[in-house]
Structure 1
Amino acid sequence: MSKPDILQMGPYPDWDQVPLEQSFHMHRYFEAADEAGFLADVGPKVRGIATRGELGANASIIAACPNLEVISVYGVGFDAVDLAACRARGIRVTNTPDVLTNDVADLGVAMMLVQSRGMIGAETWVKDGSWAAKGLYPLKRRVWGRRAGVLGLGRIGFEVAKRLAGFDMEIAYSDVSAKDFAKDWEFIADPVALAQRSDFLFVTLAASTATRHIVGAKVIEALGPEGMLINISRASNIDEEALLEALETGKLGSAALDVFEGEPNLNPRFLTLPNVLLQPHHASGTLETRQAMGKLVRDNLTAHFAGEALLTPVL
């Protein structure tokens, strides 16, 4: 039996690429000099797409693959996949939830600690001789016992809140409705009200058209000049222009960000700000999690072409 043809949207590590090549006929879209010509050539043969959360698969790519059956996303976010086009043609979509949840939550909490305690600047203070020449590092703010808000209490938001509870923080959250499993935490439906009562606001929402710029100027200003915004979700959930303006003018105290519009070519205004911690979209970036994500991508493709139930279906 011939191997199913798979359109590969972006590179994977060798530990994923080698087994993919063993099981499937991989067509590397990301290496094509002439993308349109490449799609015209291989598109009719393609039965599956292997992609990453930030790359997705848009309507034109899906249309170029008339025999497409399944899209397997490496990542929990699937907002870059045109789900309407998939629904119209009965194309299945999978992602890789759960396997990355705890690592993403870990990084979110670590970012809060690093930014609140000024650890990047403190290391520089030691290395550049300022400690010896100038004395003690300027005082920063504590974390324990303060108020945390979690915007989106899904898998990742729940794990973030669990970790914050270990710091004896006052925890509240916003979601579409109150959660039975979160009775120890305060439910606040309005994101603006959540931000207003929070010292730290974690954005852990899945991205969609409904959540685009849900963290806009009103939420950011409600968080205020002493507040910190931590985003480990998707860039589209935050109005970056409003965020930059608030960071530059002091309307927002600080931010810790793992995702950006247009990444890796983020807005250069971020690079000069003293009150923002920047990370290269690596919240799931551990060897253990990335290997588990790659395996789940392959397992979903294998299950589909074997006529078995998908492990983690989105559609």
Structure 2
Amino acid sequence: MTRICVTDAIPEPSIARLRASGHEVIVHDGPQPPDRAELLTLVEGADAVLTVLSDRVDAEFLEAAGPRLKVVANIAAGHDNIDLAACAARGVVATNTPGVLFDATADLAFGLLLAVTRRLGEGERLIRAGRPWRYRTTFLLGHSIEGKTIGLIGAGQIGTAMARRCRAFRMSIAYAAEHPMREPARTELDAVGMPLDELVASCDVISLHCPLTEGTRHILDAGRIATMRPGAYVINTARGACIDEHALAQALASGRLAGAALDVYENEPEIDPALLGLENVVLAPHLGSANVETRTAMCDLAAENALAVLAGRPAPNALRP
């Protein structure tokens, strides 16, 4: 019987769909995700594996799975956890789940923007700590986003969805010309493209929505952070390694930047300790696509990709090296 391995818990309807296809389905359903040794054992003899972005799919993984493996279906839009060249060399199809999570991720990014500019995290921590407070006209003053300019590093589906939310709050939209916004959204949003360095230096908010590649690793590095406008904000719902976290923490601690709101981290789930002690930082545990409807759609699409390959059909979302 053809064997499908699912490396972590997914919604039951997606599992039922896989089982209804007549394949054997093995799901890791422990209280914690599998560690590396458990993962390599789990995938032994698999014909298809549904992976999550914390699973490193490399030569070791492919060797552990063995010669029957035909498809790795990643439950994520990103695929920086997959060695596409290694998959191609073994004839393994790798797929992702684009087009179903951009609204959910943009919702979270915009929520983070409001949380950091209005100091919501600071306020909640104050109340939960039982510290005394009274309403005063100068108490925990944040900043309005209306009339400010947001600079997008990455203006694909998620970045464009974020721009639409910002535009509804009367923000001006700019994007890095190296990662452009497509028409008709560019005209609809009156979005302005500019060179990356100019964007970083001139915008009130920098929001990252780019994939992680060698070209975007530390795209917001110490040098670029040093050129940002005093009082600017950083939002990151892309990948943690797109930012030099240590340099960001230093700029936040000095007060040069007003704040940052992060959903992703360079060494996730570990977080730079320098960030943890800062009041002007909002931290979320990688919740970008974390609503029931979106995660179900992602898992369904991953299942569709896997079943297509196993049936000898082209995968709807096959990736190329």
* TM-score, scaled to structure 2: 0.87
Structure 1 position 47, deviation (Å): 1.8
SS at match of 1:293: helix
1:8 aligns with 2:27: no
Query: In the superposition, relative to structure 1, how do residues 62 and 102 fare at CA in structure 2: closer, same or farther (>3 Å)?
Result: same
Structure 1 position 70, deviation (Å): 1.0
SS at match of 2:235: strand
Amino acid at match of 1:47: D
Q: Name stretches of at least 5 consecutive residues in structure 1 with no aligned partner.
A: none
| Cα distance in structure 2, aligned partners of 1:267 and 1:303 | 41
| Cα distance in structure 1, aligned partners of 2:179 and 2:288 | 26
Structure 1 segment 1-315 matched on structure 2, within 5 A: 2=1, 4-23=2-21, 24-27=23-26, 31=34, 34-35=37-38, 38=41, 43=44, 45-64=45-64, 65-124=66-125, 128=130, 130-132=132-134, 137-176=139-178, 178=180, 179-181=182-184, 182-183=186-187, 184-190=190-196, 192-315=197-320
Contact 1:148–1:170 (CA under 8 A) maintained in structure 2: yes
Contact 1:224–1:253 (CA under 8 A) maintained in structure 2: no
| Cα distance in structure 1, aligned partners of 2:108 and 2:56 | 24
Query: In the superposition, relative to structure 1, how do residues 33 and 207 fare at CA in structure 2: closer, same or farther (>3 Å)?
Result: closer
Structure with greater helix percent: 1
* TM-score, scaled to structure 1: 0.88
| Cα distance in structure 2, aligned partners of 1:158 and 1:122 | 30
Structure with greater contact order relative to length (CA < 8 Å, sep ≥ 6): 2
| Cα distance in structure 2, aligned partners of 1:36 and 1:81 | 14
Contact 1:56–1:73 (CA under 8 A) maintained in structure 2: no
SS at match of 2:294: helix
Give per-residue Cα distances to partners, 1:60-87, cap 9 Å, x unaligned.
Answer: 1013322321110111110010111012
| Cα distance in structure 2, aligned partners of 1:279 and 1:299 | 30
SS at match of 1:132: coil
Query: In the superposition, relative to structure 1, how do residues 266 and 18 fare at CA in structure 2: closer, same or farther (>3 Å)?
Result: farther
Contact 1:255–1:277 (CA under 8 A) maintained in structure 2: yes
Contact 1:50–1:297 (CA under 8 A) maintained in structure 2: yes
Give per-residue Cα distances to partners, 1:183-223, cap 9 Å, x unaligned.
Answer: 42111132x21111111111000111221111111222222
Query: In the superposition, relative to structure 1, how do residues 31 and 279 fare at CA in structure 2: closer, same or farther (>3 Å)?
Result: closer
Amino acid at match of 1:187: G
Give per-residue Cα distances to partners, 1:123-172, cap 9 Å, x unaligned.
Answer: 45566464438676232111111011000111101111111111111211
Query: In the superposition, relative to structure 1, how do residues 124 and 267 fare at CA in structure 2: closer, same or farther (>3 Å)?
Result: closer
RMSD, aligned CA: 2.5
Structure 1 position 56, deviation (Å): 3.9
| Cα distance in structure 1, aligned partners of 2:125 and 2:35 | 43
